[in-house]
Amino acid sequence: KQLKAKEVIASIILSNSQIEQQFALYLWELMYGADSSTLLEPEKQICEELKDLLQAWNLYSPESIGHDFDPWTDDLTAMARTVFHQRSLWAKQQEPTINRTISRMEGVVKAVSEAAMNVTRVVVDAQNLERKAMMESMKQAVSDSIHAQMQWKLLAHQLTHERAVWHFPKSYPRSWQLDETEGPARVRKRLKRCHLHVDKRFLKSEFQDKLDAASQCQPLSFLFGSEGPSMSAVLIERLHTDEKIRHMSSARIVTPAQEVCGELLIGETSLYFVPNSEPAKLDVNTGYLDVSSQAWQFEDVKEIHNRRFQLQERALEI
């Protein structure tokens, strides 16, 4: 093996004196150059063995093989500059050949590019169909869950109010507030049950027991826990996946009970309000769902009036 290695290395080194000098400089840089510290001990041992073999084969003399004290840094820099220049000249000479080769294969390159674009288009379309089907499935699942909660809330209210079969007086609201239903001249005359979320010190002692109902568990309350989908997600059931939102703006819904900050979305067929955060859960016994999320069909909007809010003309009543 050493004899064959000697023949191969000798045929390379002795073919040109310039190659002989460059090989010695490269070996010196590898063993004693600036980056020699990165070599591992086994690698350094291999370099030493190669150096000894080159001297034993009389391919290099001890003076020409290089040592750690030889100042060959400038020679190495000059050689690197020469090699880089020669490489640039060779690349420039080969440029016409490279261009001819590319031109000869231009038809194949074009065909491969078109085939790749067609495959990419087909894959993207297939992914879009799968993604759309998954979104539709998720939307339907959430919508079904929301509908189930709405039906359970309605059923619980119908069966547990004051005149129903299963009335729970301990948890049923004992106070009254104005209903949102409007009569002639937009006058609200109807009342509805509610919980008073106030401190006991604001009520007389004989009426303080009315506040105890708010702390009691509502009928079927385990069906409307926090683990279920938010009632604000009812918009998902109304907001179609393919509907384009034309405009979005920050807004808030103002009611006598609360103010809800959110985003007003103007779509192609409807107007939506989505709250920024989850509003407080409303009581099952009142029969009302989360009123913070709203959706209005354009065809259902009859009137829009300007209203004052915080002493400024910047509110709308729909």
pLDDT tens for 212-257 read: 888 888 777 777 655 444 545 555 445 545 567 888 888 988 877 6
Among 27-36, 131-140, 163-172, 283-292, the least confident range: 283-292
- Please say whether the beta carbons of 148 and 287 come within 8 A: no
Domain around 281: 239-317
User: What are the start-end ranges of the E strands in 132-195?
Assistant: 175-178, 191-194
Q: What is the pLDDT of residues 252-269, one digit of tens each?
A: 888 776 788 888 888 888
* Residue 99 in domain: no
* Residue 251 in domain: yes
* Residue 45 in domain: yes
User: What are the start-end ranges of the E strands in 80-232?
Assistant: 175-178, 191-194
pLDDT above 70 covers a percentage of the chain that reads 87
The residue-averaged pLDDT of 150-159 equals 84
What is the rounded CA–CA span in Å between residue 251 and residue 83?
70
Q: Is the pTM of this model over 0.85?
A: no
User: What are the start-end ranges of the E strands in 97-174?
Assistant: none
* Residue 147 in domain: no
What pLDDT score was predicted for residue 287? 43
What pLDDT score was predicted for residue 113? 92
* Residue 101 in domain: no
CATH number of the domain within which 305 lies: 2.30.29.30
Choose one of 70, 99, 117: the last residue of a domain.
70
How does the average pLDDT of the chain come out, rounded?
80
The residue-averaged pLDDT of 277-303 equals 63
Choose one of 10, 44, 70: the last residue of a domain.
70
* Residue 278 in domain: yes
- Please say whether the beta carbons of 137 and 144 come within 8 A: no
pLDDT confidence bin for 292, thresholds 50/70/90: low
* Residue 150 in domain: no
Choose one of 47, 70, 93: the last residue of a domain.
70
Instruction: Say how many domains are in the chain.
Output: 2
Long-range contacts of residues 275-283, Cβ cutoff 8 Å, at least 24 apart: 275/232, 278/230, 278/232, 279/232, 281/224, 281/231, 283/173, 283/194, 283/195, 283/214, 283/218
